[in-house]
């Protein structure tokens, strides 16, 4: 996460979440966010879904879930 195709990311463009936080996308459980990166003017959350697969989802599409 510290690097992109152009080299090292600025340290203030990467945030790790420990412990991971449960999140929802469109009011449906999406998984747990464990990190954020800032790319091209948008924050993206790295979300580990129910099948243990990771995906990058724009932060505007996520909200913290009550439970998972």
The pLDDT tens digits along the chain (68 residues) read: 777 777 888 888 899 999 999 999 988 889 999 999 999 999 999 999 988 999 999 999 999 998 65
Output the pLDDT for position 53.
95
Output the pLDDT for position 2.
78
68 belongs to a structural domain: no
Whole-angstrom CA distances from 4 to 13, 14, 38 are 11, 11, 11
Alpha helices (H) in the chain, listed in sequence order: none
Output the pLDDT for position 66.
81
Tokens of 12: 């203030």
Q: What's the gap between Cα 29 and its chain centre?
A: 14
What's this model's pTM, rounded to 2 decimal places?
Answer: 0.81
25 belongs to a structural domain: yes
CA–CA separation, 7 vs 60, rounded Å?
26
Its domain, for residue 42, covers 3-63
What is the number of domains present in the chain?
A: 1
34 belongs to a structural domain: yes
59 belongs to a structural domain: yes
CA–CA separation, 17 vs 40, rounded Å?
21
């Amino acid at each position: 996460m510290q690097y992109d195709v152009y080299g090292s990311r600025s340290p203030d463009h990467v945030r790790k979440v420990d412990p991971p936080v449960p999140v929802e996308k469109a009011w449906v459980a999406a998984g747990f966010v464990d990190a954020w990166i800032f790319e091209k003017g948008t924050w993206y959350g790295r979300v580990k879904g129910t099948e243990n697969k990771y995906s990058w989802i724009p932060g505007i599409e996520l909200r913290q879930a009550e439970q998972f």
